[in-house]
């Protein structure tokens, strides 16, 4: 049940492809991270209450994919299970490194950012969240801190372990805390009808969703070969779930890091087609 007394202006998801160079191992996109830090400092100075969630990008996906962390180890013999457990450890080490870099960028501008790791608090069962650490996040918010949470390796009661994506974390936060909007900051303008690098790709300014979670918009997506958490398709599914579960009360937007639209959506409440370029996922009103 949502903690109604705690009002979160927005949750911002920093896409792994936006803050890292995803096709290279542990390579930070320093320019985009600097843009994010400046924006979130402006939000903090404007007294906005927000939670930061970030993907792993090149800090974790390579290790997780190569060592099959997301498949777990309970079904394996001891030798094969040891390989997956090693993958669990090195993947966590990598994502913690990225989390530290993001926290450092915010602290350098005066934002009281606190890194929050799901491992140890969040537990899944066949990859579905069974136990979460939302109360500790809410406690930090109430005391004026900015929680910075990352996708992580977590224990799974059936599989032994799996990858808990940042998108799943956001979905859970939206069910447990009163959130006004969710903003996905990416390396492109929003969601396109096909991969944005393809000829003729069109930006979808709005995706209207029915209460039964269906939408008429056709989105042809691609996914990095190193992505273990579903890519843009899973992000769209997460956005649809958030909008439907909240009966349209939580707004979901996708836009590009470093653009005026990113500032508009995070700081200002009044939006128009003239001030925002990106994608809004919204509930169809009949």
In tens, the pLDDT along 217-228 reads: 656 555 444 444
How many structural domains compose the chain?
Answer: 1
* Residue 145: domain span: 3-283
- The per-residue pLDDT for range 13-39, each reduced to its tens digit, is 998 889 999 888 999 999 999 999 999
Torsion-angle region of 263 (φ positive above 0: left; ψ -120 to 50: alpha; else: beta) = alpha
Structure tokens at 117: 């790791």
Calculate ∠ Cα 58-156-231, nearest 5°. 35
Count CB atoms within 10 A of the CB of residue 63. Answer: 25
Q: Which of 51, 64, 65 has its CA nearest to residue 13?
A: 51
pLDDT at 76: 97
Q: How far apart are the first and last CA of the chain?
A: 27
CATH number at residue 157: 3.40.1160.10
pLDDT at 220: 57
Q: Which of 275, 276, 263, 208 has its CA nearest to residue 239?
A: 208
pLDDT at 219: 65
The pTM for the full model equals 0.91
Q: Which of 171, 184, 54 has its CA nearest to residue 116?
A: 54
pLDDT at 85: 98
What Å distances lie between residue 241 and 117, 127, 235, 264, CA to CA?
Answer: 24, 17, 10, 24
Task: Compute the distance between CA of residue 186 and CA of residue 22 in angstroms, rounded to an integer.
Answer: 12
What Å distances lie between residue 246 and 154, 173, 251, CA to CA?
Answer: 27, 12, 9
Report yes or no: 56 and 98 within 8 Å, Cβ to Cβ. Answer: yes
**Ranges in the chain, pLDDT < 70:** 1-5, 215-231, 234, 270, 272-274, 285-286
pLDDT at 4: 47
Task: Compute the distance between CA of residue 84 and CA of residue 146 in angstroms, rounded to an integer.
Answer: 33
Q: Give me the helix-helix angle, 166-176 and 134-142, nearest 10°.
A: 70
Strands 152-156 and 123-125, sheet pairing: parallel
């Amino acid at each position: 049940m949502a903690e109604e007394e705690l009002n979160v202006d927005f949750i911002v998801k920093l896409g792994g492809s936006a803050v890292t160079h995803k096709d290279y191992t542990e390579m930070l996109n320093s320019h985009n991270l600097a843009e994010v830090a400046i924006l979130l400092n402006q939000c903090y100075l404007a007294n906005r209450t927000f939670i930061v969630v970030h993907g792993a990008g090149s800090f974790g996906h390579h290790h997780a994919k190569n060592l099959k962390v997301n498949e777990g180890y309970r079904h394996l013999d001891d030798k094969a299970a040891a390989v997956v457990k090693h993958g669990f450890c090195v993947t966590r080490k990598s994502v913690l490194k990225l989390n530290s870099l993001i926290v450092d960028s915010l602290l350098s501008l005066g934002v009281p950012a606190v890194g929050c790791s799901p491992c140890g608090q969040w537990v899944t069962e066949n990859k579905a969240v069974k136990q979460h650490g939302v109360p500790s996040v809410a406690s930090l918010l109430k005391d004026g801190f900015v929680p910075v949470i990352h996708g992580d390796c977590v224990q799974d009661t059936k599989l032994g372990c799996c990858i808990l994506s940042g998108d799943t974390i956001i979905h859970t936060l939206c069910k447990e805390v009163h959130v006004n909007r969710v903003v996905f900051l990416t390396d492109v303008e929003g969601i396109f009808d096909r991969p944005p690098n393809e000829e003729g790709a069109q930006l979808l300014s709005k995706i209207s969703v029915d209460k039964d979670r269906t939408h008429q918009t056709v989105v042809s997506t691609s996914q990095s070969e190193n992505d273990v958490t579903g890519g843009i398709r899973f992000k769209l599914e997460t956005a649809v779930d958030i909008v439907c579960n909240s009966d349209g009360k939580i707004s979901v937007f996708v836009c590009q890091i470093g653009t005026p639209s990113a500032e508009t959506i995070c700081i200002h409440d009044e939006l128009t087609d003239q001030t925002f370029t990106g994608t809004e996922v919204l509930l169809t009103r009949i």
